[in-house]
Amino acid sequence: MSNCIFCKIVAGILPSYKVYEDEDVLAFLDIAPVNHGHVLVIPKKHFANMEEIPEDILMKVLRVVKKIGLSLKRGLKYKGYNIVESNDPVAGQEVAHIHFHIIPRLNKNEFSWPHKSYKEGEAQEVVEKIKNNI
């Protein structure tokens, strides 16, 4: 924990706008929302990322992610949302305590991923490199 801001939120040392809490999982408003109702869902125990979190705790977190998504539609009348979980700084992870963003969307043109393409043979090479490391 030491300097982890999300551990401090779990411990009540830092304030947060909680929307859900149980023994293992906490969900609260992102302080700088993409849209109002942008929620972060975290395990209460500190795990840095997807590689560190045990599967049983991950399932508990995802159960809450699923519930919150629906509540954004029901409660705030959003028509859709993105679920984003970034691993490591190169992917934009700023807080090294695994968290799932649930980002409610106003329309599909707000933002989007950039897209690339594969040259002849490249896709198969990539497939082999992934398959051989699962």
- Residue in the shown chain whose Cβ atom is closest to Zn ion: 4
For residue 104 the two structure tokens come to 């409610």
Which of 38, 97, 99, 101 is the catalytic position?
99
- Active site annotation includes 97: no
Binding site for ligand AMP (CB under 6 A): 5, 14, 16, 30-32, 40, 86, 92-95
Cβ neighbours for 101, distance < 8 A, ≥ 6 positions apart = 30, 34, 38, 39, 40, 82, 83, 84, 85
Could you tell me the CA-to-CA distances from 20 to 29, 44, 70, 94, 117 in Å, in that order? 10, 12, 13, 23, 40
Task: Rank residues 57 and 95 by Cβ distance to ligand AMP and give the closer one.
Answer: 95
Q: Which is nearer to ligand AMP, 78 or 99 (CB)?
A: 99
Closest C-alpha to 6, from 40, 36, 38, 33? 40
CB of 128 to ligand AMP, least distance (A): 30
The entry of Zn ion, ligand AMP, none near residue 14 (CB within 5 to 8 angstroms by kind) is: ligand AMP
**What are the structure tokens assigned to 127, written together?**
């497939």
Q: Which is nearer to Zn ion, 60 or 105 (CB)?
A: 60
Q: Does the footprint of Zn ion cover residue 46 (CB under 5 A)? A: yes
